[in-house]
Amino acid sequence: MKKLAWQALDAALGQGAQYADVRFIEERHRSFSTKNGKLGHLSDSESTGLGIRVIADRAWGFAATDDTSPEGIVGCARRATAIARASARVNPQPAALAPEAPVRAVWNSPCVVDPFTIPAQEPLELLYAVDREARSVAGVTLAETNMEFHRASQIFVSSEGAEIEQTRTTSGAGLSALAFAGNELQKRSYPNSFGGQHQLKGYELIAELRLLENAKRVGEEAVALLKADPCPELTGTLILDSSQLGLQIHESIGHPIELDRVLGMEANFAGASFLTLEKLNHLRYGTSLVNVVADARLEHGPGLGTFGFDDEGVPAQCQDIIRAGEFTGYLMNRETALQIGQARSNGCMRAESWNRVPLIRMTNISLLPGEQPLSPEELIADTDAGIYMETNRSWSIDDKRYNFQFGCELGWEIRHGRKTRMLKNPSYSGITTEFWNSLDAICSRPYWTLWGTPNCGKGQPQQTMGTGHGAAPARFRQVRIGSAFRKAEAG
């Protein structure tokens, strides 16, 4: 791999590029699923190729190939430089990069048990057992399980002298139970919706998730929701569990801080951002309890946004995004950092694979836990009246990430500091800055979880990337609750 990467770099420079970098990647993906006791799918795939980025005539070009013969590599370099020179004819702003010292390094993510050494029968037997346990609950109409593993081994070299070998292994699994009666369908997921929980770990994560131990409870909750009262419509106190808060962070903080969106460079897919440049260091994003970081370092946790170096060779970093409620930072690459006068990129450039150009992507965008000891039980006990919601069911947010609406799978009414009746179809809505300025309590570190979002989409052609979001249960005041259910009923 290393020799081929340097050959590709030499070929790009030989075509007249002023700057070039190459990512040579070998990756493997394995996934399993079941549906009502039957195999949903089983796949095992491998992919190898390289992508070449160049600056020629002060404009960007990119090309990729899976043909690693000398002829294939030279042809790819020619295409990249030809694209750059064609782009230069219409390029309104010459390409330039913030300085970054070249690094020579090797980085491997922690992996106690290599998932690709596990015979396929073992994860399948576990998923079948989880499926059976969920369906053992009378009233469960459909049970689904899934498990997947991914490994990417990458060599990055650049004309500045960087040479970085990096391997990342991720694992994930989840289950869901659906109950159907009349014209109503209810769903419960574990440990999170949309694929469960995913982290930068090996097969050891699967045992940690305790899927089998939770399958029956998940089925029972799905059935119970059919008879639950609908979530009332009100303006009041909302408590979110950590998984739902993780998605709230993703949509209303993570995406709007991507600097390419702010600068209008990535407005086609899911819009731009309300966080225009004059708001940096001036906008009160939330209350003083809102402290959000973008942290790609391993010490932050095994997140899907954890790595050693980004796809421009910039080391993983931690940056304050919101400090005591004040907006303090964007997600950048080397080009956009220079455009807004920053001395250095904070290392947020990533690509889905070798055949995609790197984009500014979320790392681990996390809300730090509260400093004072506070458990979810204590938070509820301290709430006289409100609604508790857990596990995302649906979301909607405008193209600037300002107005939003979220639906959850399960709600509980809180009265006099206690959970009382179960509520179905809970939802809430708001405006991003108003919402974060209504936060008045966050649980402490023991109740903080680094959630993995494996399916974040961006770009055209679309790239799917994994991101991480740390959160602990938190309370918000004067939130609009239940309006989505009312509109659905009216429709």
Tokens (6 digits) for 479: 């939130």
Distance, CA of 208 to chain centre: 20
Last residue of a domain, one of 169, 194, 227: 227
Note whether 214 and 307 are same-domain residues.
no
Note whether 241 and 178 are same-domain residues.
no
Confidence of residue 356 (pLDDT cuts 50, 70, 90): very high
Q: How far apart are CA 319 and CA 481, in angstroms?
A: 33
Torsion, CA 444, CA 447, CA 452, CA 458, rounded to 10 = -40
Look at residue 483 in the predicted model and tell me its pLDDT: 80
Residue 391: left (phi > 0), alpha (psi -120 to 50), or beta?
left
Q: How far apart are CA 347 and CA 122, in angstroms?
A: 38
Is the pLDDT assigned to residue 214 strictly greater than 50? yes
Note whether 381 and 309 are same-domain residues.
yes
Note whether 172 and 146 are same-domain residues.
yes
Tokens (6 digits) for 330: 């964007």
Look at residue 487 in the predicted model and tell me its pLDDT: 46
State the CB neighbour count (10 A cutoff) for residue 2. 11
Look at residue 485 in the predicted model and tell me its pLDDT: 54
Note whether 251 and 222 are same-domain residues.
no
The structural domain count of the chain equals 2
Average pLDDT over residues 458-483: 95
Note whether 265 and 124 are same-domain residues.
no
Q: Rg of the chain over CA atoms, in angstroms?
A: 24
Last residue of a domain, one of 204, 227, 250: 227
State which residues form the domain around 43.
2-227
- Contact at 8 Å (CB) between 326 and 218? no
Tokens (6 digits) for 228: 């639950």
Look at residue 176 in the predicted model and tell me its pLDDT: 98
Average pLDDT over residues 417-437: 97
Phi/psi for 216 (5° steps) reads -65, -45
Note whether 57 and 179 are same-domain residues.
yes
Look at residue 51 in the predicted model and tell me its pLDDT: 98
Q: Give pLDDT tens digits for 97-129.
A: 999 999 999 999 999 999 999 999 999 999 999
Average pLDDT over residues 427-445: 98
Nearest to 296 by CA among 114, 29, 107: 107
Note whether 121 and 10 are same-domain residues.
yes
> β-strands 292-295, 326-327: how paired?
unpaired
Residue 202 is part of a domain; what is its CATH number?
Answer: 3.30.2290.10
Confidence of residue 490 (pLDDT cuts 50, 70, 90): very low
Note whether 248 and 151 are same-domain residues.
no
Last residue of a domain, one of 180, 208, 227: 227
Lowest mean pLDDT among 361-365, 409-413, 459-463: 459-463
- Contact at 8 Å (CB) between 345 and 201? no
Residue with tokens 């219409």: 90
Evaluate the omega torsion of the peptide bond into residue 191 and state whether it is cis, within 30 degrees of 0: yes
Average pLDDT over residues 239-253: 98
Average pLDDT over residues 484-488: 53
| Beta bridge mates, 450 | 470
Average pLDDT over residues 376-398: 97
* Average of per-residue pLDDT values in the chain: 96
Is the pLDDT assigned to residue 59 strictly greater than 80? yes
Q: How far apart are CA 88 and CA 61, in angstroms?
A: 9
| Beta bridge mates, 406 | 395, 428
Nearest to 371 by CA among 452, 290, 482, 301: 290
Average pLDDT over residues 155-159: 98
Average pLDDT over residues 341-357: 97
Look at residue 358 in the predicted model and tell me its pLDDT: 97
Note whether 168 and 255 are same-domain residues.
no
- Contact at 8 Å (CB) between 474 and 458? no
Tokens (6 digits) for 42: 């089983």
Note whether 308 and 367 are same-domain residues.
yes
- Contact at 8 Å (CB) between 481 and 491? no
Residue 353 to residues 29, 46, 49, 126, 463, Cα–Cα distance (Å)? 12, 12, 9, 30, 9
Secondary structure of the chain in the HEC alphabet?
Answer: CHHHHHHHHHHHHHCCCCEEEEEEEEEEEEEEEEECCEEEEEEEEEEEEEEEEEEECCEEEEEEECCCCHHHHHHHHHHHHHHHHHHHCCCCCCCCCCCCCCCEEEEECCCCCCHHHCCCHHHHHHHHHHHHHHHCCCCCCEEEEEEEEEEEEEEEEECCCCEEEEEEEEEEEEEEEEEEECCEEEEEEECCCCCCEEECCCCHHHHHHCHHHHHHHHHHHHHHHHHCEECCCEEEEEEECHHHHHHHHHHHHHCCCEHHHHCCCCCCCCCCCCCCHHHCCCCECCCCCCCEEEECCHHHCCCCCCCCECCCCCECCEEEEEECCEECCCECCHHHHHHCCCCCCCCCEECCCCCCCCEECCCEEEECCECCCCCHHHHHHCCCEEEEEEEEEEEEECCCCCEEEEEEEEEEEEECCEEEEEEECCEEEEEHHHHHCCEEEECEHHHCEEEEEEEEEECCCCEEEEEEEEECCEEEEEEEECHHHHHHHHC
- Contact at 8 Å (CB) between 428 and 412? no
Is the pLDDT assigned to residue 349 strictly greater than 50? yes
Look at residue 265 in the predicted model and tell me its pLDDT: 86
Confidence of residue 486 (pLDDT cuts 50, 70, 90): low
Is the pLDDT assigned to residue 488 strictly greater than 60? no
Q: Give pLDDT tens digits for 176-208.
A: 999 999 999 999 999 999 999 999 999 999 999
Q: Give pLDDT tens digits for 136-148.
A: 999 999 999 999 9
Look at residue 271 in the predicted model and tell me its pLDDT: 75
Percent share of the chain, pLDDT over 70:
98
Note whether 220 and 366 are same-domain residues.
no
